[in-house]
Structure 1
Amino acid sequence: MAGPRARWSNLPMRRVAQLCAVLLFTLLVHVTLIQAFGSQALNADRRNERPLIAKFDHPRGDILTYDGTVIATSRPAGEGPYGYRRVYRSGELYAPVTGYLALRRATGIEQAQDAVLSGDDAKVRVRSLVRDGRVEGADVRLTISDRAQWAAYQSLKQTGIPGAAVAINPATGAILALVSYPSFDPNTLAGFDAARIAETTRRLRESPAQPLLNRALNQLYPPGSTFKLVTTAAALASGEYTPAALVNAPTRLRLPGTPTYLQNAGHAACGDTRPTLTYAFQVSCNTAFANIGLQLGQDLLRDQAEAFGFNAPGLTVPLATTPSRYPPEMDRARTALAAIGHHDNRATPLMIAMLSAAVANDGVLMRPYLVEEARLPDGSVFNRANPAPYRTAMSPTLAGQLAQMMTTVTRAGGTGTGAAIPGVEVAAKTAILETLPGTEDHALVTAFAPADAPEVAVGVVLERPGARADAVAPIARAIIEAALA
């Protein structure tokens, strides 16, 4: 039995042990808190290079077109602590789709599909670890057609005019081409020299040409006469109009409550001022459709615009898109202007293509999408696209009537003969925004073909083309021909 002296000598030892236990417990709690709750903050700290090194220590999956062409891949970096760098083939051609992967930034598909491409996605990580014992990224196959994308880009580039083009398969919503011009080379932003990347980014952002702007998805334009598709659909749906109905189309129309007169392009008359709705559509009479807008009223027009997808937020393809918009409360003068695509109407080139896609698919607009499938390192496919309806714009009967009216636009006497293709019936609607004082001078076209069995719908915009506005319809024709080839 220990004596009093022994008991007193053990007391400090017990206290030291208790203190050590408390310190050890505190340390374990602190480590746990850091690992569980502080790791994200530490990884996000720009001074911490470890996440960056880990991000580039293994190859990402490839990005491929629908035809199987690799347009983004990983190659050994051969510099510094980073294992692999991203390489973009035909960079400018596909930049609005692929985006780029830089040290601290990603855009486009590189960002939207990052978890799949990097291997962080749970399905990809588990299967690659089981198969090879290491993390590998999965390949992402897009809906983009090599021919359609090339035709769209080259046609825009040859004009030298800023603009955008989108092509859609109306039956599925698959995006066959998505081009924004001018573009940029993503390879210049994909290295590891932070100073050079910062300087390149600054130069691109400050360029008046705005090459980093994805005009196809994020730039809004007045839709002009392409919006007459919406107004015509609303007129047919009202039951007050048929394609053969006579409409009021004076040479000049005074906007209600204002001293301003609206005129047709070139101050021309519209037939005998009482043309059929089909003829007014074929030659794009402003006064006829402004009158229709006044009769229908702003609410019917807005309802029809929203049926096509205007004012709908949150559309991703999976790239984020800017919502096209139709104005809120308007007076009668503004309603008349909105009916012909002026006032505050705004649409992306994607929406311009969606107008035709809805008509082409019997009135049902399919949700647009860019990713066809993802393929795991073992070759198995997952995350395959599942086409789904997005909006019902009109009934099949009315869509058929509107499609027939659109075919008159590419025939002799119509405003869109430049989009006509021998042997193929093309349905279209064009817009040259130079008929109203103060209006931005853009040229647009929306079209689909073949009219009797649609395979492709397109939307094209040229910014301020001036005397070269007629170049917009041939661009649509080139894209359609490539898609049908």
Structure 2
Amino acid sequence: MNSPLRKVSISVLVLFTLLILNANYIQVVRSSELRANPSNTRILAEEYDRERGQIVVDGNPVATSVRTDDALTYLRQYPQGELYSSVTGYYSLVYGNTGIERAENEILSGSDDRLAFRRIADLFTGRDPSGGNVELTLDPAAQQAAFDGLDGVQGSVVALDPSTGAVLAMVSSPGYDPNQLSSHDPAAIRAYSDTLGAMDPDPRVNGTVDERHSPGSVFKLITSAAALEDGYSSDSVVPAPQTYRLPGTSRDLSNFGGEVCDPSGQQTLADALRISCNTAFAQLGVELGEDRIRETAQAFGIDEEPEPMPLPVVQSTVGDIDGDAQLAVASIGQQNVQITPLQGAMIAAAIANDGSLMQPYLVDQLQAPDLTVIDQTEPEEQSRPVSADVATQLQQMMVGVVEGGSGRRAQIDGYTVGGKTGTAQTTADGDDNQWFVGFAGPEGEPQIAVAVFIQGGQGTGGDLSAPVAQQVMAAYLAADGGN
């Protein structure tokens, strides 16, 4: 064999070897990754020949599959469409899946290992294969109230059961119709997707867990918790001047609307929270120090990597703090502090639950096609950010905010309600972001914790967000929690 032929032979051998290695890498090493890729329409087409399991709320399907006469055997439908779109996501031939449709795809599609015996039985009996069901924790009354409360505004609502961490409501507004993304008409799907993509924000973004915002005065709960853990009490008197000179600067921090917190220039910690005194909490944050503020925030889950629930969650953060001036502003929830609405609900829930923060979860149980339960979520404590004594003081302080402070519009007849409003300045023209976080239930038994975030709008958290929170909590207590 001459030299040129030998070189060609070796080159061909090397190429064949690389080809075989690449094929094995794709088929063995990356097979699971490629199969799970939501853009893999070949796998989706195969799944359309199998009846996909239901997503269920309170015994009623909010996502189901119906048989058709199309080339694709089953069509995914969402009976209440927009109401649950933030949670269900969509199941699209063109764009794959999102939300619970993605997070629990293996159960819904029937490919989960826990359904292996079912698949074998289907093979031998000739029974049509089908996916399992996903039962959510959502409460229909709370979900509807949250949806109605956000009608016409951009914002988010999250409600939790403080004692378990179960998500009772999760709504991001504006919503969208997942049915139009899950049809069998690719052209119509793309047209609707283009319409959504041209909106600001894109309604497909779940603002409850995918976005974070400055919490404004809601963060004063963290500063209060840090102070109480450091030895202060709700009756401790703290400086509350009309203005506070930020350390190392020539800039003065004022209270909302330039108001005077107390003519004496000082007030109790409870009163400072009740009227949301900026100067008191800015000065208090500097007195406590950055380490104490950060440690307390982290104990509540801020600056910690969130566990999927099973939806992925953006990490909330205190952000960078460069010196005492920035610490003062961060202590009232501005500067670089950013939290998700879910995190806001977690703060209220931990306080309501005597200082125990439960891991939030959205899936109650997973079921095989024959409705046999194959997995049941057990509530799990995530952390204990404050002691029971501190939590009790914070509860009482938050009740004061609702009974005689900025959160009056969250009151519910016959129930004890605690909360904290927040107004985070984002523009010079006063078009601010509005917050309310709080809890409600029979006296001494908080049964629901909620966070309401409304983006933009003239007013305060007490004006805009507190009434929405009131509607959600009242609806839940009337339907479930008050029994």
Give the structure-2-normalised TM-score. Answer: 0.88
Deviations 1:139-190 (A, max 9, x none): 1100000000000000111xx2100000000100000000000000000100
Distance 2:471 2:431 in 1: 25
AA aligned to 1:444 is W
Contact kept, 8 Å, 1:460 with 1:476, in 2: the verdict is yes
AA aligned to 2:131 is G
Corresponding residue to 2:247 among 256, 279, 289: 256
Contact kept, 8 Å, 2:40 with 2:96, in 1: the verdict is no
Contact kept, 8 Å, 1:366 with 1:387, in 2: the verdict is yes
Q: Which residue pairs with 1:151 in the alignment?
A: 145
Residues 1:180 and 2:197 aligned together = no
Matched position secondary structure for 1:363 = coil
Matched position secondary structure for 1:191 = coil
Residues 1:479 and 2:452 aligned together = no
Distance 2:37 2:289 in 1: 55
Contact kept, 8 Å, 2:320 with 2:336, in 1: the verdict is no
Q: Aligned in 2, Cα 1:283/1:48: closer, same or farther, shift over 3 Å?
A: closer
Matched position secondary structure for 1:306 = helix
Correspondences of 1:15-164 after superposition (within 5 Å): 50-65=42-57, 67-79=58-70, 81-103=71-93, 104-130=95-121, 133=126, 134-157=128-151, 160-164=152-156
Q: Which residue pairs with 2:364 in the alignment?
A: 372
Deviations 1:392-443 (A, max 9, x none): 110111101111111001113x000000111111010001224996887111
Residues 1:326 and 2:322 aligned together = no
User: Rg bigger for which structure?
Assistant: 1
CA-based RMSD of the aligned residues comes to 2.5
Following superposition, the deviation at residue 51 of structure 1 comes to 3.0
Following superposition, the deviation at residue 126 of structure 1 comes to 1.6
Q: Aligned in 2, Cα 1:97/1:44: closer, same or farther, shift over 3 Å?
A: closer
AA aligned to 1:368 is P
Matched position secondary structure for 2:376 = coil
Contact kept, 8 Å, 1:265 with 1:435, in 2: the verdict is no
Contact kept, 8 Å, 2:38 with 2:97, in 1: the verdict is no
Distance 2:30 2:390 in 1: 59
Distance 2:140 2:75 in 1: 24
Following superposition, the deviation at residue 47 of structure 1 comes to 12
Distance 2:75 2:444 in 1: 47
Segments of 5+ residues of structure 2 without an aligned counterpart are 1-16, 479-483
Matched position secondary structure for 2:68 = strand
AA aligned to 2:411 is A
Correspondences of 1:85-484 after superposition (within 5 Å): 85-103=75-93, 104-130=95-121, 133=126, 134-157=128-151, 160-239=152-231, 241-271=232-262, 272-412=264-404, 414-434=405-425, 441-450=432-441, 452-467=444-459, 470-484=463-477
Following superposition, the deviation at residue 60 of structure 1 comes to 0.6
Following superposition, the deviation at residue 125 of structure 1 comes to 3.2
Q: Which residue pairs with 1:18 in the alignment?
A: none
Q: Aligned in 2, Cα 1:367/1:377: closer, same or farther, shift over 3 Å?
A: same
AA aligned to 2:210 is N
Following superposition, the deviation at residue 300 of structure 1 comes to 0.6
Distance 2:38 2:381 in 1: 43
Deviations 1:354-412 (A, max 9, x none): 11001011111000000000111222111101110112110111101111111001113
Contact kept, 8 Å, 2:431 with 2:457, in 1: the verdict is no
Q: Aligned in 2, Cα 1:123/1:232: closer, same or farther, shift over 3 Å?
A: same
Task: Show structure 1 runs of 4+ deviating over 4 A.
Answer: 32-50, 131-134, 434-440
Q: Aligned in 2, Cα 1:46/1:318: closer, same or farther, shift over 3 Å?
A: closer
Q: Aligned in 2, Cα 1:330/1:189: closer, same or farther, shift over 3 Å?
A: same
Q: Aligned in 2, Cα 1:46/1:175: closer, same or farther, shift over 3 Å?
A: closer
Distance 1:435 1:377 in 2: 49
Q: Aligned in 2, Cα 1:40/1:121: closer, same or farther, shift over 3 Å?
A: closer
Distance 1:183 1:376 in 2: 30
Q: Which residue pairs with 1:22 in the alignment?
A: none
Matched position secondary structure for 2:91 = coil
Q: Aligned in 2, Cα 1:41/1:213: closer, same or farther, shift over 3 Å?
A: closer
Distance 1:434 1:405 in 2: 24
Segments of 5+ residues of structure 1 without an aligned counterpart are 1-25
AA aligned to 1:422 is D
Distance 1:95 1:410 in 2: 32
Give the structure-1-normalised TM-score. Answer: 0.88
Contact kept, 8 Å, 1:128 with 1:377, in 2: the verdict is no
Distance 2:150 2:34 in 1: 45
Q: Aligned in 2, Cα 1:233/1:437: closer, same or farther, shift over 3 Å?
A: farther
Matched position secondary structure for 2:96 = coil
